[in-house]
């Protein structure tokens, strides 16, 4: 079975910039998504189209196909209570934090730490970067009617209901 619209795809990835690893799915927990429903970076979806379980590939993607260009003026003040695990950690400038937003959790970089608030750069930490991805397709399956209706994959690695 090949990757196409309305297929649930699980894959492993490693993302690098200039040969330096920035992030990886690890070897045990592949990413799971519903193909063709805007649940994945554009460049990754395009790269996986037509691939099958067991396929591996390496692609270099510009910012327009991943996290976009950096935008000036994206500093926002966030109450520490809106940071995932905010009560468990002391923050410092340069830390990447997960912030609860109206659109879900977003990663942001700490610019300044206050007593109750943190100033963050709302650009994704990888925005403006050309990124190199190593991808391995683990599984491709037909989506269930519920997954198509909900617009996302369900189950381990996807969204649980």
Segments forming the whole domain that contains residue 32: 7-67+127-150
In this predicted structure, what is the pLDDT of residue 28? 82
Q: How many residues does the chain have?
A: 161
Q: Do 94 and 21 sit in the same domain of this protein?
A: no
Contact assessment for residue 131 and residue 58, using Cβ atoms and an 8 Å cutoff: no
pLDDT per residue as tens digits for the range 35-64: 999 999 999 999 999 999 999 999 999 999
Confidence (pTM):
0.81
The answer to whether residues 131 and 63 belong to one domain is yes
110 and 141 housed in the same domain = no
Q: What are 94-145's pLDDT values in tens digits? A: 988 888 887 788 889 999 999 889 999 999 989 999 999 999 999 999 999 9
Q: Rounded to an integer, what distance in angstroms lies between the CA atom of residue 6 and that of residue 16? A: 29
What pLDDT was estimated at residue 156?
Answer: 66
Six token digits for residue 106: 């977003």
For residue 86, what pLDDT is reported? 58
Same domain, 60 and 134: yes
- CA 60, CA 52: separation in Å to the nearest integer? 20
């Amino acid at each position: 079975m090949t990757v196409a619209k309305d297929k649930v795809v699980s894959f492993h990835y490693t993302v690098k910039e200039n040969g330096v690893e920035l992030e990886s799915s690890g070897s045990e927990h592949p990413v799971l998504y519903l193909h063709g429903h805007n649940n994945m970076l554009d460049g990754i979806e395009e790269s996986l189209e037509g691939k099958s379980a067991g396929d591996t590939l390496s692609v270099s993607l510009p910012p327009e196909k991943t996290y976009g260009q950096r935008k000036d003026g994206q500093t926002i003040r966030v109450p520490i209570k809106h940071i995932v695990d905010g009560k468990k950690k002391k923050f410092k400038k340069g830390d990447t934090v997960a912030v609860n937003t109206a659109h879900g959790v977003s990663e942001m970089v700490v610019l300044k730490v206050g007593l109750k608030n943190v100033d963050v750069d709302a650009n994704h930490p990888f925005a403006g970067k050309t990124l190199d991805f190593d991808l391995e397709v683990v599984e491709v399956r037909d989506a269930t009617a519920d997954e198509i209706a909900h617009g996302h994959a369900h189950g381990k690695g996807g969204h649980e209901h």
